[in-house]
Structure 1
């Protein structure tokens, strides 16, 4: 199920303040329709990297992870003796979480004052997501995740923060997601959309931090869910937490269309409440297409100009070139060619993939699927792959998808963009 979403806005008002508190039990909590929430026990994450440790005493101090993604601020008087604090990256076992997970220690030590946890999401975590809908979440020793409802956000830096008197495994979570069975339809075709959530208990005031369950269809206050066609052409037919989108009969000049849904949020003892609006793009695609998401922003190939296609392809050495919206260009190259379906990692060998993304500009406008971190460093290739899902004969389609990090050419330790995409091109030779 494709989940390509852009969260457009989130209204926030401050209602209460206070430290987040830990729920050690998992009683059945009821949502707005009286249905019991179902907390899910998940395995604790395995360690994925070395710990960063520091001894902090009564005077207080700070400690940051190696990547500076998470920061601890220990105020004076939090501990009465010298205590070793540590941050260690671990596997994130909270499915659907867009972020990393960290194990904060010591666990089980009673702090006399709350410690502030600050989490700054990276670009890959924010791709397609408005950070204002993100909250910090923690997993207790029994394996249950909870949403830290008192999470606040800095609108300028997108940094999430919360105060707590306990340590455990921490990550981030989205309150809602908007899923579509497809994000590309032929003219006159349909896409089915569904509002989803983890939180069967978001609308209750029974507890402070809500247990996080499976990602399920939203079943809260359905009468208050509002769907709209935010922009573009087409027609929508909403029914509660579901909506059907029907594309226009021809590929429109404005593409994609954006379907939006608004849903109310009420969290007990939270600094954020109000109305969340989630939006997903739906492309009306021609016979052939190349679609790319650049750090969450969707782009599509230009329509034919005077009969000339904006897409070129070769199969001897697998090659796709596309002219995209906003004067961007994409090249995918597998030098050894493709003989069937399969996945091709990024690298230099014949059966590996090279991607170049070109943005408007005079200098350093090429972004490549490899980088050099220093003048004498070895070449570093992106993770991910190009996956060929269909390799038709002449006259049939070649289809596939890809995920790649690309770095700006001409720099050591260069800036990065994250690309995902799909393509369908008719084979002519």
Structure 2
């Protein structure tokens, strides 16, 4: 009788966990025509690299802002312009459009602000949100925002403000043109994924000397950006995790082990120096796993689910994998957009939750039963990164409940952990 009661409780919670949800479409707005390149800032003689003008990408966001001020944010929620009260003397139709990033040190997309050449009576604030990986591959002192002048040269703007808690970079300007977030020194790639046994090349780039990172670059100052070149202030490399490095200098190759490493992802660290001391460590994040979901039940052999997909629109996110009769389903709750999927999500009685079925009559889950009482396992889902529509992360179920629906049913506890590298099936519509 005790086991039957446990089974009924288990089935009830299972039904709650597997409740599905709807995925909403985003509204779109018309894309304006590509503007000219009439930048209003006068430029001194400069030696920066001349680059082409960016090409529009995605959908423009348009809004009318007047003397009372306001804010406008790009469609990817990454770039925001805040216009204070009194900066405009009349209503102006403002738009922000993602463009290809032609700044050699630029990160992500560039952004075109219209009307091109619009001037302001008070400074307006440009803010870019950066990702955790972008923060690791460089350092806050090396973050900047630049605009492209009439000659095609990207000009760094002084007075950069960096909020490392919320991962935001801001500058004040008095005009509209094309803007981009960039880093004075960085590792490339910032994030990569390879199969066990494969390798990835990692390079360190920078602009000018270490002095650009150490000196004060005051508000109101500007300087032209050259093309990135290999730097000469490197103080060695380190691998945090399994695998090893081949090569030396500013370009190395990380060689992964032939099996899933015990810790994923692996981090390759470049140490920067100025005369006499180390000033920073930059990190390239490398996931070593096959595409899909890999799961290790009870510390045993790894089970790989090559047929896997992620559904990240709507408030309930999901990862689903299949390998013959074996299946795994992971759900968690976050904001409605795919970009809200990332974070650390402790297991709950409903969601976040996981169910792994090694065969038709056995299930492992994040809930376990002791003396007829149901408990939530310690551990969490860590959705760490997203790159080109692929989500990466890990999960850990320290006390997994196991039920075999035999007669009589058998209830026990175990453990699970896993890693995933899964393509989002509904990120682009």
- What's the TM-score once normalised by structure 1's chain length? 0.51
**Structure 2 segments unaligned to the other structure (5+ residues):** 1-39, 311-316, 323-340, 355-386, 393-418, 424-429
Q: What RMSD, in angstroms, separates the aligned Cα atoms of the two structures?
A: 4.7
What is the CA–CA distance in structure 2 between the aligned matches of 1:231 and 1:90, rounded to whole Å? 39
- Total equivalences in the alignment: 281
Considering fraction of residues, name the structure with more strand.
2
Match for 1:128 among 133, 143, 147?
Answer: 133
Contact 2:239/2:245 (<8 A) preserved: no
Q: Which residue of 1 aligns with 2:426?
A: none
Matched, 1:364 2:377: no
The aligned runs of 1:152-301 (5 Å cut-off) are: 152-180=161-189, 183-184=193-194, 186-187=196-197, 190-197=199-206, 199=207, 208-212=221-225, 216=228, 218-220=229-231, 222=232, 224-237=233-246, 239-248=248-257, 251-263=260-272, 275-285=279-289, 289-290=290-291, 301=294
Contact 2:243/2:256 (<8 A) preserved: yes
What is the CA–CA distance in structure 2 between the aligned matches of 1:43 and 1:402, rounded to whole Å? 20
Cα distance change, pair 306–163 in 1 and its aligned pair in 2 (3 A): closer
Deviation digits for residues 280-312 of structure 1 (CA, Å, limit 9, x no counterpart): 233455xxx336xxxxxxxx7245768754224
The aligned runs of 1:12-411 (5 Å cut-off) are: 22=41, 24=43, 27-28=46-47, 38-43=49-54, 45=56, 48-56=59-67, 61-65=68-72, 69-74=79-84, 82-95=89-102, 96-99=106-109, 101-105=111-115, 107=117, 109=119, 114-121=122-129, 126=131, 128-130=133-135, 132=140, 134-180=143-189, 183-184=193-194, 186-187=196-197, 190-197=199-206, 199=207, 208-212=221-225, 216=228, 218-220=229-231, 222=232, 224-237=233-246, 239-248=248-257, 251-263=260-272, 275-285=279-289, 289-290=290-291, 301-303=294-296, 309-312=302-305, 319-320=307-308, 330-331=319-320, 360-365=347-352, 403=389
Considering fraction of residues, name the structure with more helix.
2
Cα distance change, pair 228–138 in 1 and its aligned pair in 2 (3 A): same
Higher RCO structure, 1 or 2 (CA under 8 Å, sep 6+): 1
Q: Once the 2 structures are TM-superposed, how far is the Cα of residue 201 of structure 1 from its aligned partner?
A: 7.4
Contact 2:62/2:95 (<8 A) preserved: yes
Contact 1:237/1:244 (<8 A) preserved: yes
Say which one has the larger Rg.
2
**Structure 1 segments unaligned to the other structure (5+ residues):** 1-20, 30-37, 266-273, 292-299, 314-318, 323-327, 334-355, 368-400, 407-418, 424-429
What is the CA–CA distance in structure 2 between the aligned matches of 1:100 and 1:106, rounded to whole Å? 14
What is the CA–CA distance in structure 2 between the aligned matches of 1:45 and 1:321, rounded to whole Å? 30
Deviation digits for residues 177-199 of structure 1 (CA, Å, limit 9, x no counterpart): 42259642544x543311134x4
Contact 1:62/1:74 (<8 A) preserved: yes
Residue 128 of structure 1 aligns to a residue whose secondary structure is: helix
